[in-house]
Structure 1
Amino acid sequence: MRKNRLVDYSLCLLLVVLLTACALPTNAPLDVLRYRADLNGTPKQRLFVFMRGMGGSHHSFEKEGLVDDVRARGLPFDMVAPNAHFGYYSGRSLVDRLKADVIDPAREQGYREIWLIGFSMGGLGSLLYRMEYPEDIAGVCLIAPFLGYGAITKEIAAAGGVRLWEPGTYDPDDDWQRMLWHWLKTDIADDPACNVQLGFGTQDTYRRGQELLSAVLPTDAVYTFDGGHDYPTFLALWRMFLDSNCYYTPAAAEAAP
């Protein structure tokens, strides 16, 4: 009985999201919160772009302590948090708005190293941007990313994983999940230079897709934590990413002030 209630609740929540997505204001330009690494210092040349999930808001990164985590470590990264909510995904304007309102202005302001930090739905958005404009960013950090629904991940797992799976013929405008995994297979899998970092909880709701992706990434680019799809797990994974220092690419070292 409890399981049925949870399923019913999930279906109702999905229906509400789909019915109200068109009502979410997709502003142009995006509403963006900005944070300096050093409140008393000059702007840095490196930037973390926080990509929000379905829940919470773009204010959550400051409220939950992620901004302070960067400052406490003395990392030379300024930070921004665009309000890239679900309406931009359903309206297929996310990548265009992110480029026009966040990434291009940052590059014009002198930021040389830009990392997308995507949580849950924001992980998907980060990958979509990386797919379209790989030259714009230094890397992507995926925290508990949503990578598609059960049918596609079950199909890939049944084929023996990403390497053995074949996407078949499809229309990318109608099947974003197949398009995403096809790209992950051809452009990301087994490429140590792709600079995609992945963290997820071992009890995460979407762990099947996360585990499939982790199998084709370098082992030192994958972080796991004994947790679910929740804030405590997100925070633990974020701090593991920060402590790894993986975001100091060779190019970043050359550009260091």
Structure 2
Amino acid sequence: MTETKYKLLVLIDLSKTSYVTLKNAVNLAKVIGGSVELFHVKSLTNIVKNENQISAMRSLDEEYNVSKKKLQSLINLILKEDNISIKFDFSFGNVKNEIKHHIEKVKPDIIVLGKRKQKVFNFLGEDITQFLLNKYFGVILIAGEDKNLKSDGGISIGFYSDTLNDYNMEITKDLSKKAASPIKFFKVRKRFTVCTTNEVVTRLKSTYNGKNVVEYEFEESTEALVNFVSKNKIGLLCLGRGRNKKSWIDKFIGEISGVNKEIGKLKAPLLIYGR
């Protein structure tokens, strides 16, 4: 078995968007050298409707078989297109607790979430995205609405340079190796200051001097960022969490985990660096 560098954990809700979520996760794994595992959770309160113990056990058995069949069918769809090994697991119980315990068990490098048209991935109304942003400090990929993260022919990548640091240097380098030229770095022009390229970006440029690098600068706004991604046909938008709690980038990520019409226009997958 080929050794993989990154372990991707894909949280699946088995909705219609699950295929796109898994496909983007598989493509990312192929780009950076990763393994993929699916995990699905269902709340017990939505399975067991009857207090009778025998009836409850029957409901759990039925749900077990249904969930297993759906997960295997989803994996089979991917296997028709990609030769990649995909593990899966699922559980019933308190959704947030089950996710937390599973993350502690498998210790993923990247967690992958799906995005719906009106709201980002959540289980049964629970805000799992915000929960993970608060509790998990590794890398998170929020899959786009389409299969626009490519694994071959090079990906168009946009990096928000202001949040690049040594902690996420390794995955940034691995992504850059498969990036289509030019690699795009963007930064925010802050009022009364002149932004300079940070040290990490300088080192990336030196490492990949064979690739064309383009830098963009725009005003500090959500709309400007969304327009940038759309205009430049970015296939993967990479940014980190702000160093300050009230930074505009944290506000941007926070809006993604809620319902926001402007953020809804962001079709590309979003990779959020860990701390």
TM-score normalised over the length of structure 1:
0.30
Which structure has the larger Rg over C-alpha atoms? 2
Greater RCO structure (CA 8 Å; 6+ sep): 2
Higher helix content, 1 or 2: 1
TM score, norm. by length of structure 2: 0.28
